[in-house]
C-alpha cells in the first residue's frame, strides 16, 4: 500500500507546478523594516493613528448577586456564576425569585451528599429556580440538638494530664539541673 504525501508535500508540488506553468520566480521574503527614530514626524502620525490599548473595567457583580451566592448551597465557580446570573437577569427573570429558589434548593440539599449538589452555573443556566418541588420530598426533621452536639469535650490540657496519670494535680516540678556549670546555649542569668 503506497503512503500518501503529507499536506506540506502536496503544497510544495502544487507551488512548483504553478511556477513552472506561469514561468515566474517566487518573490524574496521582505526584510524587516529598519529602526525609526521616534523624533520623526512620521512616527508621531503613526502614534496618533494606532488605537490606545484597551483596559479592563473593574468587575462589578450583578444586582443582588451576593444574596444569591450566600443562599446557594455549593459555592464554586463564582465568576462563571456571576455571568450566568447576569444572563438570567438579562432575560427578564426576577432576582428575588432566583434567590428564593436558591434558598429552597439549599434546604432540599441539606443533609445530602454535597457531591451531587449542582454547581451554581449549571443551576442558573438550567433555570432550576422555576422547577416545581418534588412531591415526595420531605425535609429533614431536626427535633433538637443531637447527643453528640450536647456533649461538651473536656479541655485538651485536662485530657493530656489524665492520660499522663496526673489526674487533676499539676505535673511535678522538673528535677534540678545536675550539671549547672555546663553551658548548653543557655542565656546567662
DSSP conformation class of 154: P
- Which helix (H) or strand (E) segment holds residue 42: the answer is helix 41-49
Q: What is the pTM of this model?
A: 0.47
Instruction: Spell 97-132 as b/e; 16+ CB within 10 A means b.
Output: ebbebbbebeebbeeeeeeebbbbbebbbeebbeee
Question: Which residue's C-alpha cell is 443562599?
Answer: 71
What is the extent of the structural domain holding 107?
Answer: 65-130
In tens digits, the chain (189 residues) has pLDDT values of: 555 555 555 555 565 555 555 665 555 566 566 665 555 555 555 556 777 788 877 778 888 999 999 999 999 999 999 999 999 999 999 999 999 999 999 988 888 888 999 999 999 999 999 988 777 777 667 676 665 555 555 566 666 666 666 555 555 676 676 666 666 665 555
Indicate the burial class of 86 (C-beta count within 10 angstroms; 0-12, 13-18, 19 or more). middle
Evaluate whether residue 90 is within a structural domain.
Answer: yes
Query: d(Cα 153, Cα 173) in Å, to the nearest integer?
Result: 28
Evaluate whether residue 117 is within a structural domain.
Answer: yes
CA atoms within 13 A on the CB side of 184: 4
Evaluate whether residue 24 is within a structural domain.
Answer: no
Q: Per DSSP, which regions of the chain are E strands? A: none
> In this structure, are residues 131 and 104 in contact, taking their beta carbons and an 8 Å threshold?
no
Evaluate whether residue 44 is within a structural domain.
Answer: no
Amino acid at each position: 500500500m503506497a503512503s500518501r504525501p503529507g499536506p506540506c508535500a502536496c503544497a510544495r508540488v502544487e507551488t512548483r507546478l504553478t511556477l513552472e506553468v506561469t514561468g515566474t520566480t517566487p518573490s524574496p521574503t521582505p526584510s524587516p523594516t529598519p529602526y525609526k527614530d521616534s523624533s520623526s514626524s512620521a512616527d508621531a502620525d503613526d502614534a496618533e493613528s494606532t488605537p490606545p490599548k484597551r483596559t479592563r473595567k473593574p468587575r462589578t457583580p450583578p444586582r443582588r448577586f451576593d444574596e444569591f451566592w450566600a443562599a446557594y448551597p455549593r459555592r464554586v465557580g463564582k465568576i462563571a456564576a456571576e455571568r450566568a446570573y447576569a444572563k438570567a437577569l438579562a432575560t427578564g427573570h426576577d432576582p428575588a425569585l432566583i434567590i428564593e429558589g436558591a434558598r429552597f434548593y439549599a434546604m432540599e440539599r441539606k443533609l445530602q451528599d454535597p457531591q451531587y449538589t449542582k454547581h451554581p452555573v449549571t443551576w442558573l443556566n438550567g433555570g432550576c429556580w422555576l422547577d416545581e418541588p418534588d412531591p415526595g420530598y420531605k425535609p429533614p426533621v431536626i427535633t433538637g440538638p443531637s447527643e453528640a452536639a450536647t456533649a461538651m469535650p473536656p479541655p485538651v490540657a485536662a485530657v493530656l494530664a489524665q492520660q499522663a496519670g496526673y489526674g487533676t494535680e499539676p505535673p511535678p516540678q522538673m528535677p534540678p539541673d545536675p550539671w549547672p556549670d555546663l553551658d548548653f546555649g543557655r542565656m546567662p542569668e
